[in-house]
Structure 1
Amino acid sequence: MCQEVCYCRMGFITYIKHEMGYKLKIGVISPNDPREWVRAVNTEMMLKHETLLINVLRVHGYEVVRGGEGLPANEQLAWNTGLVIKHVKNVAKHKPDVLILNQGSWTFPYDSVDAVKLFEKETGDIARVVIFSHKETKVPGLVAGMAVGGALKRLGIPYVLCYGDIEHDGEAINRLFKILEFHEQRVRAAPKVKEVTSQLPYQKYLAFGGMALKMATATTDVDLWQKVFGVSYDNLGQSVLKDRALGMVKWYDKPGTGRFEIIDDRVQEAFNMIHGKGVGKVELGQPEVLNLNKLVYQISLYYAAYDIIAEHNATFAGIKCQDELSANECTACIATAYLNNDVDPAGHDKLIIPTACENDMDSALTQLILYMMSGKPVGFGDFRDISNGTLIIMNCGQHPPYYFGTTDEAPLAKLARVEYMPQEIFYRAGGAAVRGRTPGGELITVARLARENLRYVLVATVVETIEVDPDEHERYNYAWPMIKGKLFIPEDTMIDMWPCNHLAFTYGDYTAHLVEFAHRLDIGFKVFDRNGLEYTKPS
């Protein structure tokens, strides 16, 4: 098993060096018990454990910088504060990407805490910390690792602990390399993450309306947004959206009913695309639920929102919808679906504006961050069901049409798959839901910023999409779009970790980006990668 793992990892490292021109640089700090009588017995064993670890890393292509390198024999292990400083300086000058705290037996935890603190001071950067505890039942390597981990956790310093016999345990080696592979993804993501964090103060949220459906998790403290993320905020009533939309269409009766005359050329072009050219399918329902008049009203709401957002120099948004619009005018599904999309209802390229339904502010911010990282359209969804290792993502009637095809398909091909369905019973005013199905075989990152005891935490994982049979709509809300995703973690873990009913999503695996992002912003996180490994930081 170990040979197979080694072969796979050698292949991975070779690929990275060839394709990326980069190999991970790892710093290793090996503390020891400061008591002379203990060191007289364990030093040889501790050095052996360190050598075994370093050799495994080097054989697999990693560049390793050892803290005790070049020091006298009695200073090879960091057994006091002075030596911790020396070892850290030795390591930090090489700017390693990852810091391994090597626990060969019992060590004094504060030496490892000091090592992390000094490493960050010397490098001027965050420390991606791995604790490696050697498995030897007659010595307390795991005890040391857990004690160090507990000390770091108290200070909110994230780490991953790996425990095993580095000489004989192939599973431990495999786990270590999976952790390092994830950290390598973090290193490659770091430039983009730094760019995103530097651009956050230039972002502005525009809220249309207030709290929807008494959902506490959909609201946030805008001062906390400014303090933690640096983003700005503005608020308008939904009446502003309605009034702008009414200026685009002349209604001879109640808006959304009776005769109408389209004034705005964009609304006319989009209506012609959908109704005249048949790009997308309109399934008309009872007149009070969905008719062509309602469709025109919904299209005008989209262009109204797009214009108002631009006028207010906003970069992301939320629309309350329920119940002022959804019960009295029409739902805002077309608006939110296309604000998030890369083309408008007429098929023209447009600026992607991450937008959340129900004015869910933290979801919109998560969507914004995913968009800034990926450059792709982002979506907003509900947890509808988890069973048989599969997550069903639905919501009240909008997914961006971008997700009705693969990442490399043309936008018009995806628009042709949109199904404008009569809305469900929750929305008295009716309108069209934007229905579609996300194809199988795609990786999707699902994520959510939220507050835990009023402190921010970011949760995320990745799923692999499964083809959706159109008949499956019958099992859920018939009018709503659907994503099926295979989980890489247990169902209960997924439910327990998630802070609310909403999530943000985008194509691709951005879990490493999100860990790097949350770590750099010093907020809590709980993220599972596609190997099912957890990366966490206390909030």
Structure 2
Amino acid sequence: MGRKPVIGIVGVSDGDMEVHETLKEIVQAQVDTIVEELEKDGRIEVVRAECLVNSVQSAKEQAEFLNKQGVDGTVISHGVFAFPNFSAIIAKFGKGPFLLCANLNPDWPGMVSMLAAGGALDHLGIDHFRVAGDFRNPEILGKIVHFARCAGVVNRLKGQKYGLIGGRSLGMYSATVSMQDWQEKFGVDVDHMDQSEIVRLAEEVPEKQVEKAFDWLSGHCGEILYDGNRLTPEKLKEQIRHYEAVKKIVRDNSYDFVGVKCHYEMSRHYCTECIAAAFMNDPYDWDGEKEPVAYACEADSDAAMTMQILKLLTDDPVLFMDVRHYDSDYDVMVFCNCGSESTYYAGRSKDPEENLKKVKLYPCLEIYAGGGCHVNCMTSPGQATIARLNRYKGKYRMTVIPAEFVSLPEEKMAETTREWPHVFAKLPFDHRIFLERFSANHCHAVYGDCIDELKTICRMLEIDVEVLGE
């Protein structure tokens, strides 16, 4: 669903014209090898500079050319000893982040050139990345792909628009952000909208669409536990209307990701927003396949940003979780969000039938007097990465946690709040480390090991990283 990262590449050479003429084929050969291997790999789009760099003028021109092509970052290839000032000029006028590449070839001092260029960038305070080796080696090529994927996340964030629907929920400091900080750090615009727009637009949803959604949920969910009070067919249809309203808000306002307050204006006076929270984050709904939109409950904006980073990195739905309990019998942390999560995680399938047959819609808790359902499921087992942006004295850091999601007997969900979705996670360290150091009540996750990528993304964003257990 997401676009491939786009990386620019430029080869640098000697600044003496006669020497350049004798070396240019070697410089070009290394550029060609990198490009050919990346094209065979298929995960990255590559844009070549128009020519090799062998002067201050060509360094500036080629840097600006690649920048204009909309690349996410720039690879500077060192096949021979190139004048280090060329790399410095490229870094000044080009699109960062920057990766310096050299082949470990004893015939030609490309590695030395990379070190000299790296020293120049360090002098200028320009952070950069380096890789040296045979670019036909999958491990070495993988480092370029890694760089490009992370650069793609950072640069796709820039210019995005976050929809903050409602204000601070339940007095949470850690859920609120400064729009100035976000523009400076991430390049993301924060647009505020009142929750009343959801109510207003819900009234405009065509009845035919509501019935289509209701029939689809009725036919696919494992169980819908109507109680004739808080959860009735009409109340579920109201939740459907709210979801359709949020979809329209996202579409009409070009929001890339959103946070919705819910408690208590919506949950006590209209309905819980649990259907919206589930299916905005899902890769499907009753209209078919769609792109997930990162949706954070309780207008938790740092949650939303964390989720958007994870989504851009993996192209997968992202979990929104509440920290709830430590279960000593099974040695697991229990994460139990107050009413909803992406149903994708019920079965870990892109097929909604596989997932929804494991989903139950329960009547919401009595404190949510507006009524509606909670979306219950147990998250499918698998290796996962938990992450959370948080702040200390106003400075961002990201806390990252390796985890293994596990399945437990269903009755374990009743020990907390059976109506809510559950994640049971084994952590590779003592749970007390988590309780002593984790700096939020919400956290977020995707399947797979994304720790190295998150470290690189945070370095590119100049954000500290804390990996619990390391």
> What do residues 70-91 of structure 1 show as CA deviations (whole Å, max 9, x unaligned)?
xxxxxxxxxxxxxxxxxxxx89
- Structure 2 CA distance for aligned equivalents of residues 290 and 452 of structure 1: 41
Residues 201 and 229, structure 1, Cα contact 8 Å, conserved in 2:
yes
**Which residue does the alignment assign to 2:375?**
434
> Aligned pair in 2 of structure 1 residues 327, 123: CA closer, same or farther (>3 Å)?
closer
**Which residue does the alignment assign to 1:333?**
274
- For residue 468 of structure 1, report the CA deviation from its aligned partner: 2.8
User: Of residues 343, 354, 357 in structure 1, which corresponds to 2:297?
Assistant: 357
User: Of residues 211, 215, 219 in structure 1, which corresponds to 2:176?
Assistant: 219
SS class of match (1:202): coil
**Which residue does the alignment assign to 2:149?**
192
- Structure 1 CA distance for aligned equivalents of residues 169 and 124 of structure 2: 48
- The one-letter code of the counterpart of 1:383 is V
- For residue 280 of structure 1, report the CA deviation from its aligned partner: 3.4
- For residue 409 of structure 1, report the CA deviation from its aligned partner: 5.6
- For residue 265 of structure 1, report the CA deviation from its aligned partner: 2.9
User: Of residues 488, 502, 510 in structure 1, which corresponds to 2:450?
Assistant: 510
> What do residues 393-430 of structure 1 show as CA deviations (whole Å, max 9, x unaligned)?
11111110100013x56222112222111112331212
**Which residue does the alignment assign to 1:402?**
344
- For residue 123 of structure 1, report the CA deviation from its aligned partner: 11
- The one-letter code of the counterpart of 1:282 is I
**Paired residues for 1:511-530 under 5 Å:** 511-528=451-468
| Structure 2 residue 304 is matched with structure 1 residue 304 | no
- Structure 1 CA distance for aligned equivalents of residues 201 and 254 of structure 2: 17
> Aligned pair in 2 of structure 1 residues 209, 370: CA closer, same or farther (>3 Å)?
same
- Structure 2 CA distance for aligned equivalents of residues 191 and 126 of structure 1: 13
SS class of match (2:420): coil
**Paired residues for 1:469-480 under 5 Å:** 469-480=409-420
- The one-letter code of the counterpart of 1:488 is P
TM-score where L is the length of structure 2: 0.71
- The one-letter code of the counterpart of 1:469 is P
- Structure 1 CA distance for aligned equivalents of residues 462 and 351 of structure 2: 39
Residues 221 and 361, structure 2, Cα contact 8 Å, conserved in 1:
no
- For residue 117 of structure 1, report the CA deviation from its aligned partner: 6.4
> Aligned pair in 2 of structure 1 residues 189, 495: CA closer, same or farther (>3 Å)?
farther
- Structure 1 CA distance for aligned equivalents of residues 462 and 119 of structure 2: 14
> What do residues 253-286 of structure 1 show as CA deviations (whole Å, max 9, x unaligned)?
xxxxxxxxxx3433221101123x354310112x
| Structure 2 residue 215 is matched with structure 1 residue 267 | no
- For residue 94 of structure 1, report the CA deviation from its aligned partner: 5.9
Q: Which deviates more from structure 2 when the two are superposed, residues 422-431 or residues 479-488?
A: 422-431
User: Of residues 224, 244, 249 in structure 2, which corresponds to 1:282?
Assistant: 224
User: Of residues 191, 199, 205 in structure 2, which corresponds to 1:242?
Assistant: 199
- For residue 387 of structure 1, report the CA deviation from its aligned partner: 3.8
> What do residues 429-476 of structure 1 show as CA deviations (whole Å, max 9, x unaligned)?
121001111122x11111111111001111111211111321112111
**Which residue does the alignment assign to 1:207?**
164
- For residue 197 of structure 1, report the CA deviation from its aligned partner: 0.9
Task: Give the aligned CA root-mean-square deviation in angstroms.
Answer: 3.2
Residues 444 and 509, structure 1, Cα contact 8 Å, conserved in 2:
yes
- Structure 2 CA distance for aligned equivalents of residues 197 and 223 of structure 1: 17
SS class of match (2:367): coil
| Structure 2 residue 363 is matched with structure 1 residue 422 | yes
**Which residue does the alignment assign to 2:434?**
494
- Structure 1 CA distance for aligned equivalents of residues 119 and 274 of structure 2: 49
> What do residues 31-89 of structure 1 show as CA deviations (whole Å, max 9, x unaligned)?
xxxxxxxxxxxxxxxxxxxxxxxxxxxxxxxxxxxxxxxxxxxxxxxxxxxxxxxxxxx
- Structure 1 CA distance for aligned equivalents of residues 126 and 145 of structure 2: 18
| Structure 2 residue 293 is matched with structure 1 residue 291 | no
- The one-letter code of the counterpart of 2:201 is R
- For residue 198 of structure 1, report the CA deviation from its aligned partner: 1.1
**Paired residues for 1:72-471 under 5 Å:** 93=112, 95=114, 120=122, 125-126=127-128, 188-248=145-205, 263-275=206-218, 277-285=219-227, 287-344=228-285, 346=286, 348-388=288-328, 389-406=331-348, 408=349, 410-440=351-381, 442-471=382-411
Greater CA radius of gyration, 1 or 2? 1
**Which residue does the alignment assign to 1:38?**
none
TM-score where L is the length of structure 1: 0.62
- The one-letter code of the counterpart of 1:272 is D
- The one-letter code of the counterpart of 2:264 is D
- For residue 495 of structure 1, report the CA deviation from its aligned partner: 2.2
**Paired residues for 1:24-35 under 5 Å:** none
> Aligned pair in 2 of structure 1 residues 416, 387: CA closer, same or farther (>3 Å)?
closer
- The one-letter code of the counterpart of 2:212 is E
> What do residues 199-218 of structure 1 show as CA deviations (whole Å, max 9, x unaligned)?
11131110111000111111
- For residue 124 of structure 1, report the CA deviation from its aligned partner: 6.1
- Structure 2 CA distance for aligned equivalents of residues 237 and 124 of structure 1: 41
> Aligned pair in 2 of structure 1 residues 417, 95: CA closer, same or farther (>3 Å)?
farther
- For residue 321 of structure 1, report the CA deviation from its aligned partner: 0.3
- The one-letter code of the counterpart of 2:160 is Q
- Structure 2 CA distance for aligned equivalents of residues 374 and 355 of structure 1: 16
SS class of match (1:473): helix
- The one-letter code of the counterpart of 1:403 is Y
Q: Which runs of 5+ in 1 are unaligned?
A: 1-18, 22-89, 97-113, 130-181, 249-262, 535-539
Residues 457 and 523, structure 1, Cα contact 8 Å, conserved in 2:
yes
- The one-letter code of the counterpart of 1:424 is L
- For residue 527 of structure 1, report the CA deviation from its aligned partner: 1.8
How many residues are matched? Answer: 362
SS class of match (2:460): helix
- Structure 2 CA distance for aligned equivalents of residues 284 and 127 of structure 1: 56
- Structure 2 CA distance for aligned equivalents of residues 527 and 502 of structure 1: 17
Residues 221 and 360, structure 2, Cα contact 8 Å, conserved in 1:
no
Residues 206 and 235, structure 1, Cα contact 8 Å, conserved in 2:
yes
**Which residue does the alignment assign to 1:103?**
none
- For residue 116 of structure 1, report the CA deviation from its aligned partner: 8.6
- Structure 1 CA distance for aligned equivalents of residues 174 and 118 of structure 2: 35
- The one-letter code of the counterpart of 1:218 is A
- Structure 1 CA distance for aligned equivalents of residues 409 and 144 of structure 2: 39
Residues 209 and 319, structure 1, Cα contact 8 Å, conserved in 2:
yes
- Structure 2 CA distance for aligned equivalents of residues 461 and 91 of structure 1: 38
- Structure 2 CA distance for aligned equivalents of residues 373 and 425 of structure 1: 38
- For residue 288 of structure 1, report the CA deviation from its aligned partner: 3.0
- Structure 1 CA distance for aligned equivalents of residues 141 and 194 of structure 2: 46
- The one-letter code of the counterpart of 1:331 is T
> Aligned pair in 2 of structure 1 residues 525, 325: CA closer, same or farther (>3 Å)?
same
Taking only the aligned residue pairs, the percentage that are identical comes to 29
